[in-house]
Every structure is written in structure tokens, then in C-alpha cells.
Amino acid sequence: MARWPKDNQSDLIAFYGTPKTSVLESQLVDVVPPFRMTYSGTPVRAIKFHKKCAPALRAALDEIWNAYGRDQSKIDAARVSIYDGAYNPRMIRGSSTKWSNHAYAAAIDIDAAHNGFGAGKGTMPQIVIDAFKRQGARWGGDYKGRTDPMHFEFCGDGVVATHTDVPIAPSVDLTAKRRKMGEIMVDYEYGSPLKIEVVSDGTKEIAGVNQKYHPEMYQKLSVMVSKGDQAGARKAAAEYLVDYSNEASHWTRDLAIEWYLRQSYVNRGPTGSAKILQYAVGAGVDGIVGNETLGKMKGKTTDQLLSMLRQGSEKYERTLETIPGSGKKRDESWNKWQGMVNRWNKAVKDAQQFKGFTVDPVTGALIVAGAAATAGGAVVLGTQMAKTPEATTTTTQPAPAPQGTNWGTVIPIGAIIIGIAILVVVLLRKRKS
């Protein structure tokens, strides 16, 4: 069990470390939310938090996710998916000497627009407040004087958290895998060297970053390319494509499937990639990944889902027009069709290097699950089926063989019993005589 430090600088530093130092920064870990969160509209891959309170943050988020029926639409409606910051090495408002609790990576803000500083109790759902308080966190809505209802912090009066401490290590391997995904996506578009390309609608793009849809990043890349900074441009493009496609990582824990969905996300956008997944699994096609779509993914192996996604990509592409407004659907007669076929096949092939890896739903760490992993979260190893915390862990044991009558044992025992009976009868007769 964890006991949080009191809210004074000496206790906070003793517990978490001194802000803005390498000692404290080395204690930061990634907490992957169980549901989709966004920061200023951009999907959040992970939340930087101090490792001492990271398990409590994850436990609170898990409780919230379950309380809303693991339904992203309900999370969004409650505005719990609006993330407004956590780690920030700054002083508190109006002070030049006292660190904010955000500086210790021990505080998080949610839905600031409706729960601003001084907004009383705000509109923070009681479900959220209770989930954090069960982990011993203090809620800014309870402050005396000016409240801060967006704010939850792991400090206070030495409150004991109810969670069981689970160490969350920085997911270095997972970060490396996703960095690799970004590097591959950069090469998917036009290869090396990076340069400004003109696409069919007349707009320009670099490494798949289009000036119409991503103007700021496009401008940044165009400057780097014009200066001949190929290495810097490639790195920036790869990181951006991973960040941009992070929503797809919430649709699966299987890294091979995540890869395919990410490259679809970059190529066909958020709605297009969602529809590809829905066509693939036979869900209703509305471009919003919800419980129905996720449910239909369960129980499928990695290879099965990759094959289905490949077909889903083709089904989706056939719904599009060769030129918007032309009325002509894309098919084998389209001059770019074979290029799309090559892309889908290559995506399936490239997925193999991520096969066998899954993301732990609690810690966000990378798990080597073996080729038998299913995209639905179960791992089958021999007779054991280890499931995620969504279900209990079961181990299949061979049933005992049916036992018949062992006559080799019964006959000698019967003979002994009969012999004893005869001896008793003989002794009784002798006494009577």
C-alpha cells in the first residue's frame, strides 16, 4: 500500500525528488490510458507520471473505464477523455519558490474548460472523483478558498491508497517498436530522399504529411528538407506520424494489428481507418470504433485479423471515387489500383516483424506473447489460456482417467475376509462343545 506525502515542499521532495532534476526525471514512466484521451484535440499515447504514483493513476483510470461500461462514447460524453496535462516542471501560480505538484509528476488535470480554477465544484463526474479518492488522491474541488476541480494530486495528509502497488517500468521496448512503425510509414509514401510531392488533388506533402490536413507539420518538414536536413526531417516525420495515428493503438493490444491500423490511419485518415476495420470484422460501418467493432475482433488470431484487414482495405477502397464527384468508383481499371494492392500486401508483410508482441492493458508495457496471441487479448500456450484482467486466469488440467474395478486387488481382499469368517465360526463351535 502507498502512503502519499503531505502537501509541503520538504515532504514532497523527500518522497518524489527535486523537480527539474535528472533524479526526478529518471523516475518518470508512461501510463497508457485504458480509453482514448486527447490533448487539445490530439490523441494522447501515454501520460508521463512519477513511478511511485503511476499505478494509482492507472487504477483510477481503469475504475473510471469500467464504471462507464468500457464505452468510449460515454467517456467522451462525460468529458473524461479531455486531458489537460500532468507532468510540468513549473512553480505554482503566483510563486517563485514553491513547486507545483505537477512538477513532481504527481498531478493530473481533466476537462479544464468545464472545471477551471475557482469554478467551485465544476462539473467533474462523481464517478471520476470517487475513483481518484479511492487511490488516496486529493481532489482540487475540495480545496478551501479557491477550488481547482480539474485537478487530482497524489499528496495531502499522508492518505493511504487502496491500490496494490504495481511497478510500471518505462516501456522502452514498446517506444522503440512504435518508433520503428513511424520510420516504416515514412518510407511507405515516397521513400528516400524526402522531398515535396504533389498529389492528385494538387496539394503538396512530404512523407505523407499533407499541407492541407497537417499545415504546421508540413511547413516544419518543408523547411528541414529545403535546408538538406534529411535525418532531422525523417525523424520528425516518423514521430509525427506515430503521434497522429495513436488513436489506432486504442483499438487493439496486438502490435501487428496496431501496425496495420496505424498505416491505414495515416493513408486514409481516422474515419477511413475505422471503416477499414469495420469492413474487416463485419461490424456496422459508421467510421466510429465502438463496442460492436471491438467485440467482433475478439477471439481472432493475429494472422486471421491481418487477412481480414487486407480484405477490409479493399472493400473500403471500392467505395471511394477515383476523383471526388466523378461518380466512378475505384476498381481494377483505376490506374492507381495496383499501387494500392501493393501497399496492402506490403502492410501485411511488414506486420510480421511486430507479430507476437502485445501491450499489457494495466502497465502499458510490451509483452512477448508468442505467435499464438489473439488480438482479443487471450494468449494460448499449450493447455493454458492466460487472459487479460477482463477475465479470470484459467488453466486447463487434464481430467482424471475414469477408474474401473481393480480385480487384482479385490480378489485377495475377499479371500482374506472369507478366511477370517471361517476361523470365527470354527472357534465358536469349539466353545460350545
User: Mind spelling out the 3-state secondary structure of 333-391?
Assistant: CCCCHHHHHHHHHHHHHHHHHHCCEEECCCCCCEEECCCCEECCCCEEECCEEECCCCC
Q: Is the predicted pLDDT of residue 368 greater than 70, yes or no?
A: yes
- Residue 113's pLDDT is 95
| φ, ψ dihedrals at 52, nearest 5° | -75, -30
Of the listed ranges 43-47, 234-238, 367-371, 409-413, the least confidently predicted one is 409-413
Q: Is 112 helix (H, G, I), strand (E, B) or coil?
A: helix
CATH number at residue 279: 1.20.141.10
Domain assignment present for residue 366? The answer is: no
> Of 316, 337, 354, which closes a domain?
354
| φ, ψ dihedrals at 31, nearest 5° | -110, 115
How far from each other are the two terminal CA atoms of the chain, in whole angstroms? Answer: 84
Q: 265-309: per-residue pLDDT in tens? A: 999 998 999 999 999 999 999 998 887 898 899 999 999 999 999
Question: In Å, how far are 33, 46, 82, 393 from 63, measured between CA atoms?
Answer: 11, 17, 17, 20
Domain assignment present for residue 399? The answer is: no
Of the listed ranges 57-61, 327-331, 380-384, the least confidently predicted one is 380-384
What is the domain extent for residue 212?
171-244
* Nearest-angstrom CA–CA distance, 168 and 326: 53
Same domain, 270 and 214: no
Same domain, 255 and 302: yes
Same domain, 138 and 37: yes
What is the overall mean pLDDT for the chain?
A: 82
Q: Is the predicted pLDDT of residue 429 greater than 90, yes or no?
A: no
Domain assignment present for residue 35? The answer is: yes
Same domain, 238 and 257: no
Domain assignment present for residue 128? The answer is: yes
Same domain, 21 and 97: yes
- Residue 409's pLDDT is 41
What confidence tier does 378 reach under pLDDT thresholds 50, 70, 90? very low
Same domain, 46 and 81: yes
Query: Could you tell me if 300 and 308 are in contact, meaning their C-beta atoms sit under 8 angstroms apart?
Result: yes
Of the candidates 157, 162, 173, 178, the one whose C-alpha atom is nearest the C-alpha of residue 55 is 162
Q: Which residues contact 400 (CB under 8 A, 6 or more apart)?
A: none
| φ, ψ dihedrals at 345, nearest 5° | -65, -40
Secondary-structure breakdown of the chain: helix, strand, coil percentages, each rounded to the nearest 5: 45, 15, 40
Same domain, 211 and 144: no
Domain assignment present for residue 53? The answer is: yes
Domain assignment present for residue 15? The answer is: yes
CATH number at residue 60: 3.30.1380
* Nearest-angstrom CA–CA distance, 412 and 389: 54
Same domain, 251 and 332: yes
Q: Is the predicted pLDDT of residue 237 greater than 50, yes or no?
A: yes
Q: 124-168: per-residue pLDDT in tens? A: 999 999 999 999 999 999 998 889 999 999 998 655 555 444 444
Q: What is the 3-state secondary structure (H, E, C) of 36-85?
A: CCEECCEECCCEEEECCCHHHHHHHHHHHHHHCCCCHHHHHHCCCCEECC
Query: Could you tell me if 222 and 213 are in contact, meaning their C-beta atoms sit under 8 angstroms apart?
Result: no
**Residue that wins the pLDDT comparison between 86 and 253:** 86
Domain assignment present for residue 72? The answer is: yes
Same domain, 27 and 117: yes
Dihedral of alpha carbons 183, 184, 188, 194, sign: positive
DSSP symbol at 227: T
Q: Is the predicted pLDDT of residue 19 greater than 50, yes or no?
A: yes
Q: Compute the average pLDDT of residues 324-334.
A: 90
> Of 300, 334, 354, which closes a domain?
354
What confidence tier does 61 reach under pLDDT thresholds 50, 70, 90? very high
Same domain, 208 and 299: no
Same domain, 121 and 190: no
Instruction: Give the chain's domain count.
Output: 3
Of the listed ranges 209-223, 240-254, 381-395, 416-430, the least confidently predicted one is 381-395
Helix (H), strand (E) at residue 252: none
- Residue 2's pLDDT is 59
Extract the C-alpha cell encoding 246: 495513436
Domain assignment present for residue 417? The answer is: no
Same domain, 194 and 276: no
> Of 354, 387, 421, which closes a domain?
354
